[in-house]
Amino acid sequence: MNELDSIFSDDWGEDHRSGIVAVVGRPNVGKSTLINSILGQKIAITAAKPQTTRQRQTGILTTAEAQILFTDTPGMHTPQTRLGNYMAAAVRAALKDVDAVVWIVDVSQAPNDEDRHIAELLSKLAPGSPIVLVLNKSDLIDSDHDRSAHLALFDSLYVQETSATGGHGIHELVQRLIPLLPFGPRYYPADQMSDANLRFIAAEIIREKIIHLTSEEIPHSVAVEINRFREKPDITVIEATIYVERESQKGIVIGKRGRLIKKIGIDAREELQRLLGARAHLETRVKVLKNWRSNEDFMRRVGYVLPRRKGG
């Protein structure tokens, strides 16, 4: 058997299970980190700031007994902009036709009204789907920490405590999820971990570096468009435009004597090279597009495509 045959072999038995698990929760609770930890590889960008994830993305876990398609989603919050509306719509769409839901809460923080609101939404949007309540960031609490307020959020049959950064509870969570999925085939080759294409991943990596290196409104005001992505035999050439919403933000992203944009480029290129396993040439420029977060035409251009409204 050659390498390709083994990758595409449908080497799974009658008792193989497969299905879609939506991963939802408030911003910054660790959804993307948890998916990366489950896969043992970074497929989604993460940051210590809320609203990092903007789009649905699928992480694919293949084991001998199951294939789980994890849908990473934007953090659930009250939208303030068209971009926020798009993100909320992406969560709703992700909850359609799922086999199970992983609802992540940050166990180190007291639950609030937003968590209670999510509980209501989940019963409405994913009725009948089993919900696993995941108490994440368990490394930040003691073993005698009172978990009752979190457990009272949702009368779930399934609860799992995890530390997505420490790797605690991850295997147990997967073992809990597999029996919740229907019997079914492998949908993706065993070595495929994400449904995202390289252009999307490149734009996300650049955006992540900007989020890490800036503060306040800037992480929310940044969009990245890939203008060119060419894989040559010896090097991959990438040209990207970084959009911000105001002139002052452009100055900050570029930095004194271009220092920050240079650092963004170096960090992004390093990660891209690791991912591509090849040399990369990255060229970036920064442009201002006032209030792009309310500009649906622009949002569509950079991939934030709102699903069509029914009947309209």
Ligand X SMILES: Nc1nc2c(ncn2[C@@H]2O[C@H](COP(=O)(O)OP(=O)(O)OP(=O)(O)O)[C@@H](O)[C@H]2O)c(=O)[nH]1
User: Which residues bind to ligand X, rule: CB under 6 A?
Assistant: 27-33, 46-48, 50-53, 74-75, 136-137, 139-140, 163-165
**Rounded distance, CA 18 to CA 20, Å?**
7
Pick 16 or 72: Cβ nearer Mg ion: 72
Site for Mg ion in 51-70 (CB under 5 A): 52-53
Question: Considering CB distances under 5 to 8 angstroms, the limit depending on partner class, which of Mg ion, ligand X, none binds residue 84?
Answer: none
164 binds, among ligand X, Mg ion, none (CB under 5 to 8 A by kind): ligand X
Kindly state whether residue 28 participates in binding Mg ion, applying the rule CB under 5 A.
Answer: no
From Mg ion, ligand X, none, which one binds at residue 163 (CB under 5 to 8 Å depending on kind)?
Answer: ligand X
Please, which residue, 164 or 280, has the CB nearer to Mg ion?
A: 164
- Contact partner, 55, from ligand X, Mg ion, none, Cβ < 5-8 Å per class: none
Answer for the pair 71, 231: CB distance below 8 angstroms, yes or no: no
Q: How far apart are CB 51 and Mg ion at their closest, in Å?
A: 8
What separation in angstroms does the CA of 108 have from each of 105, 133, 134, 160, 161?
Answer: 9, 14, 12, 14, 11
Looking at the Cβ atoms of 51 and 278, the one nearer to ligand X is 51
- Residues 76-95 contacting Mg ion, CB under 5 A: none
Out of Mg ion, ligand X, none, what residue 48 binds, judged by CB under 5 to 8 A for its kind, is: ligand X
Pick what 57 binds: ligand X, Mg ion, none; C-beta below 5 to 8 Å, kind-dependent: none
**Closest approach of Cβ 34 to ligand X, in Å?**
7
CB-nearer residue toward ligand X: 90 or 272: 90
Q: Least distance (Å) from ligand X to the CB of residue 6?
A: 33
Please identify the residue of the shown chain whose CB is closest to the bound ligand X: 75
Query: Is the CB of residue 219 less than 8 Å from the CB of residue 204?
Result: no
CB of 243 to ligand X, least distance (A): 19
Is the Cβ of residue 17 or residue 74 nearer to ligand X in the bound state?
74
249 binds Mg ion (CB under 5 A): no
By beta-carbon proximity to ligand X, the closer residue of 19 and 59 is 59
For ligand X, the closer of residues 165 and 189 by Cβ is 165
Q: φ, ψ for residue 4 (rounded to 5)?
A: -65, -40
| Nearest CB to Mg ion, comparing residues 26 and 186 | 26
**Does 32 engage in binding with Mg ion (CB under 5 A)?**
yes
Give the shortest CB-84-to-ligand X separation in angstroms: 12
**CB-based burial of residue 63 (10 Å sphere; 0-12 exposed, 13-18 middle, 19+ buried)?**
middle
User: Cα–Cα distance between 58 and 73 in angstroms, integer?
Assistant: 9
- Supply the Cα-derived Rg of the chain in whole angstroms: 20
Chain contacts with Mg ion (rule: CB under 5 A): 31-32, 52-53
